[in-house]
Amino acid sequence: MKISSGDATQQMTDDAEMLATYKLALERVIARVPVKNGVVDIDSIWVETSLPYDLLRKILQRDDLVLPENVERINLKSSARKGGRRGRSGRRRNR
């Protein structure tokens, strides 16, 4: 099956519209998540949205993302994807 240029153009338009919709939704979510010293963690946004991490990261790196006045930046380093913190030694505690 061959994809015509019209189909490819429509797919690109659909992808751009989807990303724009997610961008607007994320801008609303960022206004509701905890802010610490002007920084919002990507993990907080992920918990609120449950979007795939790669998609979330792609949208948060956009130049046209509008942040609330109390947010200076978004920390894109995730502690959830690396297993999070387990205490000082980094080892799992026996229970």
**Can you give the pLDDT of all 95 residues of the chain as single tens digits?**
555 666 777 777 888 999 999 999 999 999 999 999 999 999 999 999 999 999 999 999 999 999 999 999 999 998 876 654 544 555 555 54
pLDDT of residue 34: 95
Angle between helices 42-49 and 53-60 (to 10 degrees): 120
- How far from each other are the two terminal CA atoms of the chain, in whole angstroms? 57
Q: Is the pTM of this model over 0.75?
A: no
Question: Is residue 64 in a domain?
Answer: yes
Question: Is residue 50 in a domain?
Answer: yes
Question: Is residue 95 in a domain?
Answer: no
Question: Is residue 62 in a domain?
Answer: yes
Phi and psi at residue 16, to the nearest 5° = -65, -40
Tokens of 90: 């980094």
Q: How many domains does the chain have?
A: 1
Spatial separation of the C-alpha atoms in residues 28 and 34, rounded to whole Å: 13
Question: Is residue 44 in a domain?
Answer: yes
The residues facing 73 across adjacent strands are 39
Query: Could you list the residue range(s) of the whole structural domain that residue 68 is in?
Result: 40-80
Question: Is residue 12 in a domain?
Answer: no
